[in-house]
Structure 1
Amino acid sequence: MIKFEHVSKVYSNGVKGLDDVTLTIDKGEFVAIIGLSGAGKSTLIRTINKIIDISSGKVMVDKIDVSQLKGKELRKFRRKIGMIFQSFNLVTRATVIRNVLTAKVPDMPFIKVLFGLFSKKDKIEALEALDKMGIVEKAFLRSDQLSGGQQQRVALARTLVQNPEIILADEPVSSLDPVTAKQVMDDFKRINKEMNISILINIHHVELALEYADRIIGIQDGKIVYDGKAENVNNEILDRIYKKDLDRKSTVSL
């Protein structure tokens, strides 16, 4: 369970990233966070694994106060939280399997990391994760030989090797074409259902959010302005999230 208790984040320039956010996310939920650029979507998900420190309030994950974690405790905590980025964050000159195996680095002695001495068990787990993503045949290709969608699947496979309880995805499909974006969202949905992993996705594409997520959180100027079932989202709610004076078609369309 993830719990925000009156969480605020004020950046050094005075901008409010989050403004008194209180919400609870249960295990196994698929949650999409929507809103304008700069509304606080990325800030919200990045406080969960303490990539961003909060200014006040409390973020709890399975009864752990995230704000109190540091050093080894923080690194250990982050291992159970996968993070997917828009830019994939792959070493493009390395092979696909080597990129997936980087998930094992935090638990390895430095000398083994230096020489890439991964165990047979680690390699099998990496191949199994790639197989789940349907790209095991790409394991020994360089990552820069893959399409954008395939690279995002490699990032997902790398996350699965961590055996995460939570996956945070920060605009994971914004750089993909509409067809590929839907394929990657299919992967997220399958992982969520088959493995009961909580998934929080910060996403601009409202159509995809409504199609795939069970729950929608709408955020505006750091405040939660909608939190409910995707099926209940209507034009009035979208007006509330995106402000009435905006051309919503240009804001939310693929």
Structure 2
Amino acid sequence: MIEFKNVEKKYPNGTAALQNVNLKIGQGEFVAVIGLSGAGKSTLIRCINRMHDITSGQLMVDNVDVTGLKGKQIRNFRRRIGMIFQSFNLVTRTTVIKNVLVSFVPDLPFWRKVTGIFTKEHKLKALEALDKVGILDKAFVRVDQLSGGQQQRVALARTLAQNPDIILADEPIASLDPVTSKQVMDDFKKINKDMNISVIMNIHHVEVALEYADRIIGIRKGEVVFDGESDKVTKHILNDIYGGQVEELKSSMEEKSAHV
């Protein structure tokens, strides 16, 4: 479904964010992208929905070269791809259901966009999405009254409401405690399995990546240095991905968990 062919991404200052990336990701896969900060993980997933443009190579989604899409074509293409951010990107001073209904705005006629009036069908779809992530009872609660984990679930429900084929998640549990992180990751896994939605996740938590993802892509200095099944990942492979910093990484993660 998604194919990177000799993809490179260079920033205007000459920094090579991605180099010679060749990957194929099939429909329904759960993929975790791991590596040090600055390795190119976020850039990789943000190229898929054209948040970043590649410098050379080809990026195909369902045999369509996404680099050639323009204007309305890009907007229509992005409707198929949900994006989950670490910062949630919610309007906190309004209700949960209104945040989910935002996913329908691009398809509304002008008068509905102006008045903010949604159809009964839209409201039912929003409630169904909230039910899928276990927070239907919070539908009419203001977002700023929710915990961080609940807010991330609202963001996930908003994405589900648009009925995507692919969900891209950029550090979705980075600001959450271990217990809440598990709940959110359970949601991602359930959605992946029950709805056959591809999940491609950039994540710092190595243990979590290995537990939940079917496939691991390891990035170092913009290059893919490992691509394989989660249960094939060894300490040697992790040291290769993280440049020998695995023990330091584990210690810092354990210390962070101890203070939560």
2:79 matched to 1:79?
Answer: yes
The answer on whether the counterparts of 1:204 and 1:252 sit within 8 Å (CA) in structure 2 is no
Q: Secondary structure at the match of 2:48?
A: coil
CA distance in 1, matches of 2:110, 2:147: 32
The answer on whether the counterparts of 1:207 and 1:252 sit within 8 Å (CA) in structure 2 is no
Q: Which residue of 2 aligns with 1:137?
A: 137
- How far does residue 110 in structure 1 lie from its aligned partner after superposition? 2.3
Query: Which string of whole-angstrom CA distances, capped at 9 and with x for unpartnered residues, describes residues 157-210 of structure 1?
Result: 000111100000000000000110011000000000000000000000000000
The answer on whether the counterparts of 1:96 and 1:138 sit within 8 Å (CA) in structure 2 is yes
Mapping 1:71-220, distance limit 5 Å: 71-220=71-220
CA distance in 2, matches of 1:251, 1:64: 42
CA distance in 2, matches of 1:32, 1:249: 17
CA distance in 2, matches of 1:152, 1:127: 16
CA distance in 2, matches of 1:155, 1:20: 33
How many residues in Structure 1 have an aligned counterpart in Structure 2?
254
- How far does residue 94 in structure 1 lie from its aligned partner after superposition? 1.4
Give, as a single letter, the amino acid of the residue that structure 2 aligns with 1:239.
N
% of aligned pairs identical? 65
Structure 1 gaps, min length 5: none
Query: Which string of whole-angstrom CA distances, capped at 9 and with x for unpartnered residues, describes residues 26-85 of structure 1?
Result: 000000000000000000000000000000001000011110111101000000000000
Give, as a single letter, the amino acid of the residue that structure 2 aligns with 1:162.
Q
- How far does residue 248 in structure 1 lie from its aligned partner after superposition? 3.5
CA distance in 2, matches of 1:249, 1:199: 25
CA distance in 2, matches of 1:102, 1:18: 33
Q: Which residue of 2 aligns with 1:249?
A: 250
From the superposition, tell whether residues 12 and 250 of structure 1 become closer, same or farther in structure 2 (CA, over 3 Å): farther
Q: CA RMSD in A?
A: 1.1
Q: Which residue of 2 aligns with 1:22?
A: 22
When normalised by structure 2's length, the TM-score is 0.96
- How far does residue 245 in structure 1 lie from its aligned partner after superposition? 5.3
- How far does residue 12 in structure 1 lie from its aligned partner after superposition? 1.1
Query: Which string of whole-angstrom CA distances, capped at 9 and with x for unpartnered residues, describes residues 124-179 of structure 1?
Result: 00001101111011001111110000000001100011110000000000000011
Please identify, of 12-21 and 117-126, the stretch whose mean Cα deviation from structure 2 is larger.
12-21
CA distance in 2, matches of 1:236, 1:252: 19
CA distance in 2, matches of 1:162, 1:16: 33
Give, as a single letter, the amino acid of the residue that structure 2 aligns with 1:135.
I
Query: Which string of whole-angstrom CA distances, capped at 9 and with x for unpartnered residues, describes residues 195-227 of structure 1?
Result: 000000000000000000000000000000000
Structure 2 gaps, min length 5: none
CA distance in 2, matches of 1:72, 1:23: 27
CA distance in 1, matches of 2:252, 2:166: 28
CA distance in 2, matches of 1:180, 1:73: 37
When normalised by structure 1's length, the TM-score is 0.98
CA distance in 1, matches of 2:249, 2:132: 36
Give, as a single letter, the amino acid of the residue that structure 1 aligns with 2:175.
S
CA distance in 2, matches of 1:183, 1:250: 23
The answer on whether the counterparts of 1:206 and 1:252 sit within 8 Å (CA) in structure 2 is no
